[in-house]
Chains A and B, each alone.
Chain A
Amino acid sequence: GNSVTQMEGPVTLSEEAFLTINCTYTATGYPSLFWYVQYPGEGLQLLLKATKADDKGSNKGFEATYRKETTSFHLEKGSVQVSDSAVYFCALNPGSARQLTFGSGTQLTVLP
Protein backbone atom coordinates (compact mmCIF):
# COMPACT_ATOMS: atom_id res chain seq x y z
CA GLY A 1 0.00 0.00 0.00
CA ASN A 2 0.90 3.66 0.01
CA SER A 3 2.66 5.21 2.98
CA VAL A 4 4.56 8.32 3.99
CA THR A 5 7.25 8.38 6.67
CA GLN A 6 8.30 11.68 8.16
CA MET A 7 11.12 12.63 10.44
CA GLU A 8 9.85 12.58 14.00
CA GLY A 9 9.66 15.82 15.88
CA PRO A 10 9.57 18.05 17.59
CA VAL A 11 12.27 20.07 15.89
CA THR A 12 13.54 23.21 17.61
CA LEU A 13 15.79 25.68 15.78
CA SER A 14 17.11 29.15 16.31
CA GLU A 15 16.06 31.90 13.93
CA GLU A 16 18.09 31.92 10.69
CA ALA A 17 19.10 28.26 11.07
CA PHE A 18 18.90 25.81 8.18
CA LEU A 19 15.90 23.47 8.17
CA THR A 20 15.55 19.97 6.80
CA ILE A 21 12.51 17.77 7.44
CA ASN A 22 12.91 14.33 5.93
CA CYS A 23 10.09 12.59 4.09
CA THR A 24 10.20 9.23 2.34
CA TYR A 25 7.35 7.43 0.67
CA THR A 26 6.16 4.08 -0.60
CA ALA A 27 3.80 4.03 -3.54
CA THR A 28 3.10 2.22 -6.75
CA GLY A 29 3.33 4.13 -9.96
CA TYR A 30 4.14 7.82 -10.08
CA PRO A 31 2.53 9.72 -7.23
CA SER A 32 2.29 13.47 -6.78
CA LEU A 33 3.95 14.72 -3.60
CA PHE A 34 2.97 17.57 -1.31
CA TRP A 35 4.01 19.50 1.76
CA TYR A 36 1.24 21.04 3.85
CA VAL A 37 1.68 23.38 6.81
CA GLN A 38 -0.63 23.75 9.82
CA TYR A 39 -0.37 26.82 12.02
CA PRO A 40 -1.70 26.56 15.59
CA GLY A 41 -5.45 26.09 15.78
CA GLU A 42 -5.92 26.15 12.02
CA GLY A 43 -6.48 23.80 9.13
CA LEU A 44 -3.77 22.70 6.72
CA GLN A 45 -2.51 24.86 3.88
CA LEU A 46 -0.66 23.68 0.81
CA LEU A 47 2.97 24.78 1.03
CA LEU A 48 4.37 23.24 -2.15
CA LYS A 49 4.00 20.31 -4.50
CA ALA A 50 5.75 18.29 -7.18
CA THR A 51 4.02 16.10 -9.69
CA LYS A 52 6.87 14.17 -11.33
CA ALA A 53 10.38 12.97 -10.69
CA ASP A 54 13.08 15.65 -10.42
CA ASP A 55 10.48 18.43 -10.06
CA LYS A 56 11.31 20.99 -7.40
CA GLY A 57 8.44 22.59 -5.53
CA SER A 58 9.10 25.93 -3.86
CA ASN A 59 7.18 28.55 -1.89
CA LYS A 60 7.98 31.15 0.80
CA GLY A 61 11.65 30.13 0.80
CA PHE A 62 10.86 26.43 1.28
CA GLU A 63 11.94 23.87 -1.29
CA ALA A 64 11.55 20.14 -1.87
CA THR A 65 12.76 17.98 -4.74
CA TYR A 66 10.96 14.84 -5.91
CA ARG A 67 13.64 12.12 -5.87
CA LYS A 68 12.31 8.92 -7.37
CA GLU A 69 15.58 7.01 -6.94
CA THR A 70 15.50 7.52 -3.17
CA THR A 71 11.68 7.83 -2.89
CA SER A 72 12.13 11.05 -0.96
CA PHE A 73 10.72 14.57 -0.83
CA HIS A 74 12.68 16.35 1.90
CA LEU A 75 11.63 19.86 2.90
CA GLU A 76 14.36 22.50 3.22
CA LYS A 77 14.65 26.17 4.05
CA GLY A 78 17.89 28.09 4.22
CA SER A 79 16.96 30.51 7.01
CA VAL A 80 13.93 29.88 9.21
CA GLN A 81 11.92 32.58 10.95
CA VAL A 82 9.86 32.53 14.13
CA SER A 83 6.75 32.74 11.94
CA ASP A 84 7.64 29.35 10.39
CA SER A 85 6.75 27.64 13.66
CA ALA A 86 4.04 25.14 12.70
CA VAL A 87 3.37 21.48 11.99
CA TYR A 88 4.52 20.26 8.58
CA PHE A 89 2.90 17.31 6.82
CA CYS A 90 4.25 15.38 3.87
CA ALA A 91 1.61 13.73 1.67
CA LEU A 92 1.27 11.76 -1.53
CA ASN A 93 -1.44 11.26 -4.10
CA PRO A 94 -1.08 7.97 -5.94
CA GLY A 95 -3.11 9.26 -8.86
CA SER A 96 -6.38 8.29 -10.49
CA ALA A 97 -8.33 10.61 -8.18
CA ARG A 98 -7.47 8.56 -5.14
CA GLN A 99 -7.17 9.99 -1.67
CA LEU A 100 -4.08 11.58 -0.22
CA THR A 101 -1.95 9.68 2.24
CA PHE A 102 -0.41 11.87 4.96
CA GLY A 103 2.65 11.48 7.11
CA SER A 104 2.34 11.91 10.88
CA GLY A 105 3.51 15.53 10.84
CA THR A 106 6.60 17.25 12.23
CA GLN A 107 6.29 20.03 14.78
CA LEU A 108 8.76 22.87 14.15
CA THR A 109 9.48 25.54 16.73
CA VAL A 110 11.75 28.45 15.83
CA LEU A 111 13.17 30.46 18.70
CA PRO A 112 14.16 34.13 18.40
Chain B
Amino acid sequence: DGGITQSPKYLFRKEGQNVTLSCEQNLNHDAMYWYRQDPGQGLRLIYYSQIVNDFQKGDIAEGYSVSREKKESFPLTVTSAQKNPTAFYLCASNMVSGANVLTFGAGSRLTVL
Protein backbone atom coordinates (compact mmCIF):
# COMPACT_ATOMS: atom_id res chain seq x y z
CA ASP B 1 0.00 0.00 0.00
CA GLY B 2 1.18 3.51 -0.76
CA GLY B 3 1.92 5.80 2.10
CA ILE B 4 4.43 7.63 4.25
CA THR B 5 6.68 5.83 6.71
CA GLN B 6 8.22 7.74 9.56
CA SER B 7 10.82 6.29 11.89
CA PRO B 8 11.47 5.97 14.70
CA LYS B 9 8.05 6.34 16.28
CA TYR B 10 9.58 7.23 19.66
CA LEU B 11 13.01 8.71 20.25
CA PHE B 12 14.81 9.89 23.34
CA ARG B 13 17.79 12.18 23.15
CA LYS B 14 20.15 13.80 25.59
CA GLU B 15 20.64 17.53 25.45
CA GLY B 16 23.38 18.54 23.04
CA GLN B 17 22.89 15.61 20.69
CA ASN B 18 21.72 15.80 17.10
CA VAL B 19 19.04 13.35 15.98
CA THR B 20 17.69 12.49 12.54
CA LEU B 21 14.09 11.55 11.85
CA SER B 22 13.38 9.50 8.76
CA CYS B 23 10.53 10.08 6.30
CA GLU B 24 9.98 7.90 3.23
CA GLN B 25 7.06 8.00 0.79
CA ASN B 26 6.10 5.67 -2.06
CA LEU B 27 3.27 7.82 -3.39
CA ASN B 28 5.38 9.44 -6.12
CA HIS B 29 4.53 12.82 -4.60
CA ASP B 30 6.58 15.81 -5.66
CA ALA B 31 6.46 17.79 -2.43
CA MET B 32 7.34 16.81 1.13
CA TYR B 33 6.91 18.69 4.40
CA TRP B 34 7.93 18.57 8.04
CA TYR B 35 5.60 19.89 10.73
CA ARG B 36 6.00 20.22 14.44
CA GLN B 37 3.05 19.68 16.79
CA ASP B 38 3.04 20.73 20.42
CA PRO B 39 0.27 19.87 22.90
CA GLY B 40 -2.84 21.96 22.36
CA GLN B 41 -1.34 23.72 19.39
CA GLY B 42 -1.75 23.46 15.67
CA LEU B 43 0.85 22.36 13.19
CA ARG B 44 3.83 24.58 12.49
CA LEU B 45 5.80 24.17 9.28
CA ILE B 46 9.52 23.53 9.70
CA TYR B 47 10.77 22.86 6.16
CA TYR B 48 9.33 21.85 2.84
CA SER B 49 10.64 20.64 -0.50
CA GLN B 50 8.87 20.74 -3.84
CA ILE B 51 11.62 19.14 -5.89
CA VAL B 52 14.71 17.01 -5.38
CA ASN B 53 17.80 18.90 -4.21
CA ASP B 54 15.77 21.95 -3.25
CA PHE B 55 14.01 22.92 -0.02
CA GLN B 56 12.72 26.03 1.73
CA LYS B 57 12.42 27.14 5.32
CA GLY B 58 9.04 27.19 6.92
CA ASP B 59 7.90 29.23 9.89
CA ILE B 60 10.16 27.62 12.52
CA ALA B 61 13.29 26.36 10.71
CA GLU B 62 15.85 27.50 13.29
CA GLY B 63 17.67 24.54 14.86
CA TYR B 64 16.58 22.10 12.15
CA SER B 65 18.10 20.91 8.88
CA VAL B 66 16.84 18.76 5.99
CA SER B 67 18.00 17.18 2.76
CA ARG B 68 16.16 15.97 -0.34
CA GLU B 69 18.57 13.79 -2.29
CA LYS B 70 15.85 11.44 -3.50
CA LYS B 71 12.22 12.07 -4.37
CA GLU B 72 11.09 9.45 -1.87
CA SER B 73 13.06 10.64 1.14
CA PHE B 74 13.08 13.81 3.25
CA PRO B 75 14.99 13.31 6.54
CA LEU B 76 14.86 15.93 9.28
CA THR B 77 17.79 16.56 11.62
CA VAL B 78 17.03 18.17 14.96
CA THR B 79 20.26 19.83 15.98
CA SER B 80 21.54 20.81 19.39
CA ALA B 81 20.77 24.41 18.44
CA GLN B 82 17.03 23.74 18.71
CA LYS B 83 16.21 25.12 22.14
CA ASN B 84 13.03 23.18 22.82
CA PRO B 85 13.01 20.05 20.64
CA THR B 86 10.62 17.87 22.62
CA ALA B 87 7.58 17.56 20.34
CA PHE B 88 5.62 15.38 17.93
CA TYR B 89 7.01 15.60 14.39
CA LEU B 90 4.86 14.94 11.36
CA CYS B 91 6.01 14.36 7.80
CA ALA B 92 3.61 14.91 4.92
CA SER B 93 3.61 14.88 1.14
CA ASN B 94 1.45 15.89 -1.81
CA MET B 95 1.45 16.61 -5.49
CA VAL B 96 2.33 20.21 -6.26
CA SER B 97 -0.67 20.66 -8.56
CA GLY B 98 -4.32 19.98 -7.82
CA ALA B 99 -6.22 20.49 -4.58
CA ASN B 100 -3.06 20.17 -2.51
CA VAL B 101 -4.37 17.40 -0.26
CA LEU B 102 -1.66 16.34 2.18
CA THR B 103 -0.95 12.74 3.13
CA PHE B 104 0.63 12.41 6.57
CA GLY B 105 2.87 9.85 8.21
CA ALA B 106 2.11 8.47 11.67
CA GLY B 107 4.56 10.81 13.35
CA SER B 108 7.70 10.62 15.47
CA ARG B 109 7.68 11.65 19.12
CA LEU B 110 11.00 13.12 20.26
CA THR B 111 11.74 13.57 23.94
CA VAL B 112 14.84 15.35 25.13
CA LEU B 113 15.99 14.18 28.54
Residues of A within 8 A of B (CB): 32, 34, 36, 41-46, 49, 51, 89, 93, 97-100, 102-105
Q: Is B84 an interface residue (CB 8 A)?
A: no
With A42-B107, A43-B90, A43-B105 as contacts: A97 and B100 at CB distance below 8 Å:
yes
Give CA–CA (A98, B56) in the complex, Å.
12
Closest to B9 in A: A41
What does the 1/0 interface line of B82-113 toward A look like (CB < 8 Å)?
A: 00000000101000110111111111000000
**Contact assessment for A49 and B101 in the assembled complex, using a CB-CB cutoff below 8 Å:** yes
CB contacts (< 8 Å) of B74 on chain A: these are none
The number of residues on chain B lying at the interface, defined by a beta carbon within 8 Å of a beta carbon of chain A, is 25
Which of the candidate stretches B11-19, B40-48, B64-72 sits at the interface with the other chain? B40-48
CB distance from A57 to the nearest CB of B (A): 11
13 A-B residue pairs with CB within 8 Å = A41-B107, A43-B4, A43-B6, A43-B105, A44-B43, A44-B102, A49-B101, A97-B50, A97-B96, A99-B33, A102-B42, A102-B43, A104-B40
**Contact assessment for B107 and A43 in the assembled complex, using a CB-CB cutoff below 8 Å:** yes
Closest to A6 in B: B42
**Contact assessment for A44 and B42 in the assembled complex, using a CB-CB cutoff below 8 Å:** no
Give CA–CA (A102, B41) in the complex, Å.
10
Of B6, B31, B40, B42, which is within 8 A of A103 by CB?
A: B42
CB contacts (< 8 Å) of A89 on chain B: these are 42-43
**Contact assessment for B107 and A46 in the assembled complex, using a CB-CB cutoff below 8 Å:** no
CB contacts (< 8 Å) of A42 on chain B: these are 106-107
